[in-house]
């Protein structure tokens, strides 16, 4: 047998041995990772169960009932409306901008039957959330909260929620520029905004948008029509929920 043939044989043996080691290692690790994934899935399922219990029975979870609509809220609709929606928003939140369109549908359909109250819940993860909330509050001093809210959501899409843009928006809305600017720069409503957020957490608010229909907690950008989540669980949309409340 030539040296070359011997070399080829030994080369093949070594390669096969290495492949065997790699396969054994992979099979052991695969078992470990599969086990770990099962554990993570079990934890996710439990979290989902806990959240469903919270949403279905918020008062049973040790939460306080949400404060009813009052004079400190920013109102959209008829004050005598039989159905009250309280909405916690962050003007730097894209889901809130999307949800604003759903609320517009609610107002167009139900008009004097529904009143919507807006409250601040600036998320810590949104750098411009508090400045934008301040802009809305300062505009509210001059009766333009809802109009400024629309401006803030439009700014958000172009990453323009900043002081210079807020002042420009105020001018376009016909506000007293100097008074608005003074209110904004001295952060007149910052403590109130932070206090509102802390209070909201007692009611179970953890993100935006969050809506309360009476005492029913509706997390996220609820849809106008009925829908289902990624797990296949079906939910009543705002239209169905409001219709039930009006019965």
Tens of pLDDT, residues 47-66: 344 445 455 554 556 789 99
Task: Judge if 49 and 88 occupy the same domain.
Answer: no
79 with 50, same domain: the answer is no
Which residues are CB-contacts of 88 (< 8 A; sequence separation ≥ 6)? 119, 120, 121, 200, 205, 208, 209, 210, 211
pLDDT band of 38, cuts 50, 70, 90? low
> In terms of domains, do 27 and 139 share one?
no
Please, are residues 180 and 54 in contact by the beta-carbon 8 Å criterion? Answer: no
Number of domains in the chain: 2
Same domain assignment for residues 184 and 125: yes
Specify if 30 maps to a domain. Answer: yes
Residues 100 and 46 in one domain: no
At residue 237, what are phi and psi to the nearest 5 degrees?
Answer: -80, 175
Any idea which of 18-32, 127-141, 199-213 has the lowest mean pLDDT?
A: 18-32
**202 and 121 inside one domain:** yes
Whole-number Å distance between alpha carbons of 77 and 106? 10
191-215: average pLDDT? 96
Does residue 40 surpass a pLDDT of 70? no
Assess whether 26 and 114 both reside in one domain.
Answer: no
215: domain range? 74-246
**Quick check: is 66 in a domain?**
no
């Amino acid at each position: 047998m030539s040296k070359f043939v011997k070399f080829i044989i030994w080369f093949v043996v070594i390669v096969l041995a290495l492949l065997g080691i790699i396969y054994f290692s992979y099979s052991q690790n695969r078992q470990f990772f599969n086990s770990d994934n099962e554990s993570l899935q079990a934890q996710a399922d439990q979290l989902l169960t806990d959240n469903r219990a919270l949403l279905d029975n918020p008062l049973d979870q040790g939460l306080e009932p949400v404060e009813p609509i009052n004079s400190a809220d920013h109102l959209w609709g008829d004050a005598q409306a039989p159905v009250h929606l309280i909405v916690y928003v962050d003007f730097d939140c894209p889901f809130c901008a999307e949800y604003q369109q759903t609320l517009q549908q609610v107002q167009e359909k139900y008009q004097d039957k529904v009143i919507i109250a807006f409250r601040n819940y600036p998320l810590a993860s949104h750098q411009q959330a508090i400045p934008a909330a301040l802009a809305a509050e300062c505009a509210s001093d001059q009766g333009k909260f809802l109009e400024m809210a629309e401006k803030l959501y439009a700014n958000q899409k172009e990453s323009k929620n900043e002081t210079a843009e807020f002042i420009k928006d105020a001018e376009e809305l016909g506000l007293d520029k100097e008074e608005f600017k003074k209110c904004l720069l001295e952060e007149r409503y910052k403590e109130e905004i932070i206090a509102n957020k802390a209070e909201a957490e007692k009611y179970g608010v953890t993100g935006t948008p969050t809506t309360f229909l009476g005492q029913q907690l509706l997390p996220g950008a609820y849809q106008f029509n009925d829908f289902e989540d990624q797990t296949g669980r079906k939910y009543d949309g705002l239209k169905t929920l409001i219709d039930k409340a009006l019965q």
